[in-house]
């Protein structure tokens, strides 16, 4: 009897690859097949989007375990509401919208719970938003890897301090590489608003990362 060498082998999608037909099907077709009871079709949808959604939620919440949970909740909602899905938008827009709503909801819950550290509070330019932020250490670092690591840490921290209404469009644009009209569809707002918010978000980041830009 063959024994499992790693948890990776428990991955259904990897252990039992979906049929070629399923792999080539569009997202819409996969969702229709899921609705008809085809588990492989849903597994293929999960395989296509699990990393993107996990990464996106992680950039929004800055918490990996929470991001994985929320990503699973996103797929669960897709599965539950498969019969209500309308093909007027791309499936990616639909699933990103669910993920965005869950992430923003989580951020609001955190704000209510006052999980934000009370140390190093800074106020934003808008006055009403209070966020924590570590000032960058300006001492020179010896190793280029250390510099990169420090830069990434500062960028992540700076993104996590953005107000949620600016964070979502910035992450979708500069991290996920979505177009403006896609972002507008995901956030259910106008393209002009998206552009304006991205511009403001970048200005915030520039202020936070003045020593790195």
Least Å from the CB of residue 55 to another protein = 4
- The answer to whether residue 80 forms part of the interface with another protein (CB under 8 A) is yes
Site stretch for another protein (CB under 8 A), options 17-25, 62-70, 99-107, 134-142: 62-70
Long-range (24+ apart) CB contacts under 8 A made by 28-35 are: 28/87, 28/91, 31/78, 31/82, 31/85, 31/91, 34/79, 34/82, 35/82, 35/83
**DSSP three-state, residue 141:** coil
Contact 163, 198 (CB under 8 A): no
C-alpha pair distances (Å), 115 with each of 109, 110, 131:
9, 6, 11
Binding of residue 62 to another protein (CB under 8 A): no
Q: DSSP letter at 174?
A: I
Does 35 bind another protein (CB under 8 A)? Our answer is no
Stretch that binds another protein, among 25-33, 114-122, 130-138, 147-155 (CB under 8 A): 147-155
Distance (Å, whole) CA 137 – CA 148: 13
Instruction: Examine residue 206 and tell whether it contacts another protein (CB under 8 A).
Output: yes
195: contact with another protein by CB under 8 A: yes
Tokens for 136? 């960058």
Quote the tokens at residue 25: 């099907």
Candidates 22, 25, 40, 58; binder of another protein (CB under 8 A) is 58
Binding mask 148-177 for another protein (x = CB under 8 A): ---xx--xx--x----------x---xx-x
- Residue ranges that bind another protein, judged by CB under 8 A: 6-8, 10-13, 43, 46-47, 50-51, 53-55, 58-59, 64, 67-68, 71-72, 75-76, 79-80, 151-152, 155-156, 159, 170, 174-175, 177, 180, 195, 198-199, 202, 205-206, 209, 212-213
């Amino acid at each position: 009897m063959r024994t499992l060498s790693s948890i990776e082998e428990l991955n259904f999608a990897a252990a039992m690859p979906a049929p070629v037909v399923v792999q080539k099907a569009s997202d819409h077709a996969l969702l229709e097949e899921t609705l008809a009871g085809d588990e492989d079709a849903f597994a293929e949808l999960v395989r296509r989007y699990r990393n993107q959604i996990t990464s996106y939620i992680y950039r929004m919440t800055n918490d990996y375990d929470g991001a994985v949970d929320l990503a699973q909740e996103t797929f669960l909602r897709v599965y539950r509401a498969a019969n209500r899905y309308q093909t007027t938008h791309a499936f990616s827009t639909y699933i990103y919208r669910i993920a965005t709503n869950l992430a923003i909801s989580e951020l609001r819950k955190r704000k209510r719970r006052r999980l934000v550290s009370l140390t190093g509070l800074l106020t934003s330019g808008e006055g009403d938003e209070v966020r924590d932020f570590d000032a960058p250490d300006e001492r020179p670092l010896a190793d280029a890897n250390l510099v990169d690591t420090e830069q990434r840490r500062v960028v992540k921290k700076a993104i996590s301090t953005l107000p949620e209404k600016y964070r979502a469009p910035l992450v979708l644009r500069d991290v996920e590489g979505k177009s403006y009209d896609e972002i507008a569809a995901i956030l259910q707002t106008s393209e002009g608003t998206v552009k304006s918010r991205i511009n403001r978000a970048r200005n915030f980041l520039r202020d936070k990362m003045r020593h790195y830009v």
